Amino acid sequence: MTNKHTDEGPFLTEFEKDLEGVVFREMVTYRYKDGMMIKEKVSRRFKKDGNYHDTTTSTPLPALT
């Protein structure tokens, strides 16, 4: 199954780039869920030995009045 949002374009190209020299990478998504805006962040910290450590956070944002 294809997804027009992730199967082509600059967003996919960025993820397919060579990772040589990259030490940290993150992606932030803002999602409206159950009447509340949520900030979701995933990050990857690359280690010198080729391994990496992933972190995921989900933060509810205050309503704007």
pLDDT value, residue 3: 62
Output the pLDDT for position 2. 61
At a CB cut-off of 8 Å and minimum separation 6, what does 39 contact?
A: 28, 29, 30, 57, 58, 59, 60, 61
Asked if pLDDT for residue 1 goes beyond 60, the answer is: no
pLDDT at 31: 94
- Please state, in angstroms and rounded to a whole number, the distance separating the CA atoms of residues 41 and 61: 13
Q: Higher confidence at residue 25 or residue 64?
A: 25
The pLDDT value given to residue 65: 67
pLDDT tens-digit map of 5-57: 666 788 788 878 888 899 999 999 999 998 899 999 999 999 999 899 999 99
